[in-house]
Structure 1
């Protein structure tokens, strides 16, 4: 079959009386392995289930939700590839103008809090049909969480939505097990032992056993320190080897998170990427302008999952996990050959990456048996002494991809962890990265420069970036290439003061870096940094952390990082004055910004005035 059915007529033509499962998504239907909906749908299909896809249903009526009738076994509900609130609003909480995951970038085709809205609607129409929620939005909101858009604590999305079960993380094996048991006739209420899932039960029915208990919903609403403690406990148990059951009371109910599902094996991950994806959006969207989100991934290859870098502001560690799973060389080459057969292929593979492109191996040998260390990072503030660094397998794959017929260039556009790269004693990969895999500019993420802010971010100190930068330009020069680094920088992260932003501006000037874009810290659910933003506390030390909160302070920090942009001058001047660094306003080479004409006139007038006073005093003395 090409695309999975999206209409009742298609189901009838297939001879089905009803689908086994209906997969509901807030995105348009794109049958590509970069889209979670496509993966879950195709995995279910592979195991023999009849699957229909309900993409961007109109939640204001029942019509779309009754399109296929009631499924035999249940609904699988997600918001799409990203959180629906992030898709709809900027960090300033202003509505976005475009949605790349909707046809023609049209906004308004999914509701705010899509998982919650879809689940409630389904339960209204089919109260006895199982609803299993999953994907990023559900995964990151599985516990009581701070919601930036409401500026308050919301309960677990499982209880809030009325769904029966929640899958967190990369949900293939959870979904397979749940489907198998529903098919066998097991009621959804009894499916309470699947790893990588959350369920809720009345407190009086809960059977106590070994578990880590977080402060309750009521406690974290009342007390920010309790919220920070809760965050730390949840983060520390997100390891498939040593992670334990976690519970959190919500009134007269208890949310139970089972230990994480182990990452897919390489064989399982290969199988997922070998499924018969159409690798594009459904043709029904063609007349609407297509689905722009496919453009970034159509000729890209995902070769790994997980990230042991685990930056505090990133949701990957809490969703995918820190353990690395990588596809085999054969699987990657098979996908590359499929790309070359696409009539739109121009000879360029845009990316061979993942959460972090140059991770293919576990960060150390110990974690295979003991899991990744709780409360510690593999790379920050300095690389762990046990860190194993090896690019040889990744390098071999890139070489074979470059050698394929019809392939002109292979680029790496997803994140390179420069701090990991510079720890490799063999610089062969670094040399070939510079020679073959940079399209003039390489994106890297130092994020900041002061140690205090970088510690709050869970990032390595700036010396690692400077070491990388020096070698990158050296190797580029040796290869006769004029190439540049594009640094990702973040303003207003918890821990950052105006003085820190000034130091970052001075660093950028000193290093001749002029970022075209600056990202304001966005407090999304489920991250350590969002916990800091809400509580003002580091959840691991419970020490206070400065949090930029006002729009004015955020704007000044952002402007400092682009001090060279003329329209930012007034804000930069205000920021420098507020930081006690008026010495950086002037005409000298060490200054960040020139004074305004009004400031110059005022200065001249002040000097003239002082001159007159001086003259009068001199005359009097005579």
Structure 2
């Protein structure tokens, strides 16, 4: 970190102090401006700043006024628009369609500042107040990335076209955009075309030679078979080493998607995370109230990105990639030491991890050289022998972080994959022992999601030896002399899961796990997941066989009530509770806000991603 970091300007006064008449880039975001490596707009801004560009940020502008969007003037190169760390519809509505009252990323916590379909709303806002401007608008972030091709929108119950066309923007950068955003800025600054930038989507009047053609927007709206074919081809071309470019007719024009950017190298990932972030909330936002996610964001460290789990309900692999990129131990330790110097730091790193905590430090060598396999997955239906889980680097890292002066505890709050622990015959048990003894804050998160073989198969998750893992965790907890427990995340109403399967899961939890799970979410068919494709087509795309899909809101709520014991279901006592279970904590209190995405909301792609 820089010893005297500054915010990127968010006000005209800050720009004047820097001597700027006009910024090169203005980033517009649906989050408050927290200048930290967990917030996408801050990262993109810092990366562009490092490349020599003048970058300013407008956070959560009022879409009913020109005061916010015009306060910095017009950028010289481009507007960058993101809905923020979450898809705005997921941020604003529950799986049952109820309006969310709270937002962890908004000052004061009241969910009133992120508009529905924020990417479209912000682009319209810019067009409305800068009419006729030639300055291009570039979309990015999780909302744009996962809506870049035609997708099912659960809130309107229809297929929508690419958000690039819906928003009437000029370009879209998908995935983790640090490299592509600089390449785009360089092209615009030099007056050359950015059309060939990897990780970029654009509009075209004609098909691109050598690119694969997807079924047209008109076809996928009318024909579920065409929608399925489109998505399978789209997903199959998401790996940087093997992907081909894609094009698709949208009315009279074409959507063009260039192949993705390769994952950042260890050196590049280190550099991104060590940029001079203030790790503070910008004063302009601070004047409006506290941001609930702030403390956890400030005092957490990302050790890696990407996920080779590739679960059907999760968009992380499609957005961040199936290749896990890990930071160096030296970089993470430097950040650890920097955290101890922050005001308000009390000695606790609240999370050291990534999408899944124990994917740090090992990858499939074959994948790194030739790309992700097209005929199998890394962890499903069982762990591929080529992956070779090895927790040795992670054990060493956690121990070294724990020894940094000023550190009392380094917690592993991201959640872990029990199957990876059990598959690592040499170091898996040592890792679990280390986590239980030194890095668990009362509870350890795991996400079995379900116990039915049929439902797990449709989720793309293996049947984990859950009882074996639970028993070993309890043994190590007893050895450590700590009153710790496992927190299980389960999913309700996923395609293939009916009331029968939920009652079976409830009985398993009561008879085998001796608990009534508190953490359960109703499956939300969010854009660009294989599970959403099943929800729409009511078929397994791999076999073509019919799949039961629960689409009735009341029935979904009944499934959840069955698991929680608050409704009609097995094991319910006359008061509707199971007795002796922990009081449910407030939303967000047992998960890392800066990665809201990571634990309980994988199906919605709620990962904090650029």
| TM above 0.5 | yes
Q: For residues 572-607 of structure 1, what are the alpha-carbon distances to aligned partners after superposition, in whole Å with 9 as ceiling and x for unaligned?
A: 2xxxxxxxxxxx6xxxxxxx235799xxxxxxxxxx
1:244 and 1:206 map into 2 onto residues whose CA distance is 14
- Distance of 2:441 and 2:362 partners within structure 1: 29
Provide the residue aligned with 2:166 in structure 1: 160
Q: Is the 8 A contact 1:84 1:112 kept in 2?
A: yes
Match for residue 340 of structure 2? 340
For residues 75 and 434 of structure 2, the distance between their equivalents in structure 1, rounded to whole angstroms, comes to 52
2:212 and 2:388 map into 1 onto residues whose CA distance is 31
Contact 1:132 1:165 (C-alpha < 8 Å) held by counterparts: yes
Q: Distance in 1 between matches of 2:404 and 2:145?
A: 38
Higher relative contact order (CA 8 A, sep 6+): 2
| Alpha-carbon separation, structure 1, partners of 2:526 and 2:8 | 32
Counterpart in the other structure of 2:281? 281
Tell whether the 8 Å contact from 1:228 to 1:542 is kept in structure 2 after alignment. Answer: no
8 Å CA contact 1:197–1:258 kept in 2: the answer is yes
Structure 2 CA distance for aligned equivalents of residues 268 and 261 of structure 1: 13
Q: Matches of residues 224-239 of structure 1 in structure 2 within 5 Å? A: 224-239=224-239
- Kindly tell me: are residues 15 and 465 of structure 1, through their superposed partners in 2, closer, same or farther at Cα, counting changes over 3 Å? same
The 8 Å contact of residues 231 and 539 in structure 1, kept in 2 or not, is answered as no
Which deviations, in whole Å up to 9, do the C-alpha atoms of 1:69-91 show, x marking residues without a partner?
Answer: 22111111101111111111111
Cα distance in 2, alignment partners of residues 595 and 75 from structure 1:
58
What whole-Å deviation, never above 9, does each CA across 1:228-287 have from its counterpart, x for those lacking one?
Answer: 121111111110111111222111111111111001111111111111101021122334
What's the offset of the Cα at 1:221?
A: 0.6
Structure 1 residue 362: Cα displacement? 4.8
Aligned to 2:516: 514
Secondary structure of 1:121 counterpart: helix
> Is 2:183–2:194's contact at 8 Å kept on the other side of the alignment?
no
1:85 alignment partner, SS class:
helix
TM-score normalised by L of structure 1:
0.89
Deviations 1:300-344 (A, max 9, x none): 110101000111111101100110111111110111111111121
Task: Write out aligned runs for 1:379-418 (5 A).
Answer: 379-418=379-418
Counterpart residue number, 2:594: none
Root mean square deviation, CA, Å: 1.6
- Counterpart residue number, 1:200: 203
What secondary structure is seen at the aligned counterpart in 2 of 1:31? coil
Provide the residue aligned with 1:210 in structure 2.
210
Cross-structure match for 1:30: 34
Cα distance, 1:9 vs structure 2: 2.3
Match of 1:547 in 2: 549
Aligned partner of residue 455 in structure 1, secondary structure = helix
From 84, 89, 93, the counterpart of 1:85: 89
Aligned to 1:73: 77
* C-alpha contact (below 8 Å) 1:323/1:362 kept by paired residues: no
**SS at 2:113's partner residue?**
coil
Deviation of 1:519 after TM superposition, in Å, equals: 0.7
Q: Deviations over 1:384-441 (max 9, x none)?
A: 2322111111111101111111111111000211111110112221211111111221
Give the equivalent residue in structure 1 for 2:257.
257
The alpha-carbon distance between structure 1 residues 415 and 368, as it changes in their structure 2 partners (threshold 3 A), is: same
1:351-397 per-position Cα deviation (integer Å, ceiling 9, x unaligned): 11011111124542211222111253211221123221111111111
Indicate yes or no: 2:143 matched with 1:137.
yes
SS in structure 2 of the partner of residue 103 of structure 1: coil
Q: Match of 1:498?
A: 499
> Is 1:593 matched up with 2:593?
no
Three-state SS of the structure 2 residue aligned to 1:231 is: helix
| Number of residue equivalences | 567
Among candidates 3, 8, 11, match of residue 15 of structure 2: 11
C-alpha separation in 1, matches of 2:396 and 2:311: 28
SS of the aligned residue for 2:53 comes to coil
Looking at structure 2, the residues matched to 596 and 137 of structure 1 have their Cα atoms a distance apart, in angstroms, of 42
**Greater per-residue helix proportion:** 1
Q: State the secondary structure of the residue aligned to 2:423.
A: coil
Question: Is the CA contact 2:69–2:126 (under 8 Å) kept in the aligned structure 1?
Answer: yes
Which residue number in structure 1 is paired with residue 152 of structure 2? 146
DSSP 3-state at the match of 1:275: coil
Looking at structure 1, the residues matched to 375 and 79 of structure 2 have their Cα atoms a distance apart, in angstroms, of: 36
What is residue 2 of structure 1 aligned with on the other side?
Answer: 6
1:434–1:475 Cα contact (<8 Å) kept: yes
Structure 2 residue ranges without an equivalent (≥5): 577-610
Q: Does 1:481 align with 2:487?
A: no
Do the aligned partners of 1:228 and 1:538 also contact (CA within 8 Å) in 2?
no
Q: Deviations over 1:521-575 (max 9, x none)?
A: 1111111111111221222222211111111211221112122x4xx2xx32xxx
1:60 aligns with 2:64: yes
Question: Which segment is superposed worse, 62-71 or 303-312?
Answer: 62-71
Partner of 1:50: 54
Q: Distance in 1 between matches of 2:175 and 2:24?
A: 23
- Report the counterpart of residue 529 of structure 2 in structure 1: 527
**Post-superposition, which runs of at least 4 consecutive aligned residues in structure 1 deviate over 4 A?**
594-597
Distance 1:425 1:413 in 2: 23
Q: Whole-Å Cα distance in 2 between the matches of residues 81 and 21 of structure 1?
A: 20
Alpha carbons 1:25, 1:80 under 8 Å: kept: yes
Secondary structure of residue in 1 paired with 2:543 = coil
Residue 66 of structure 1: SS of its match in structure 2? coil
Q: Which residue of 2 aligns with 1:174?
A: 180
Is the partner of 1:290 in helix, strand or coil? coil
Normalised to the residue count of structure 2, the TM-score between the two structures is 0.90
Q: Which residue of 1 aligns with 2:194?
A: 191
Q: Is the 8 A contact 2:487 2:519 kept in 1?
A: no
Question: What secondary structure, in the 3-state scheme, does the structure 1 residue paired with 2:202 have?
Answer: strand
Residues 415-434 of structure 1 aligned to structure 2 (within 5 Å) = 415-426=415-426, 427-434=429-436
Could you tell me how far 1:165 is from its partner in structure 2?
0.6
**2:457 aligns to what?**
455
Aligned to 1:605: none
Contact preservation (8 Å) 2:207, 2:247: no
25-34 vs 61-70, greater mean Cα deviation: 61-70
Residue 375 of structure 1 contacts residue 540 of structure 1 at CA under 8 Å; is this kept in 2?
no
Higher alpha-carbon Rg: 1
- Tell which deviates more after alignment, 5-14 or 302-311: 5-14
Alpha-carbon distance in 2 for matches of 1:122, 1:441: 45
SS at match of 1:318: helix
Question: CA–CA distance in 1 between the matches of 2:545 and 2:230?
Answer: 15
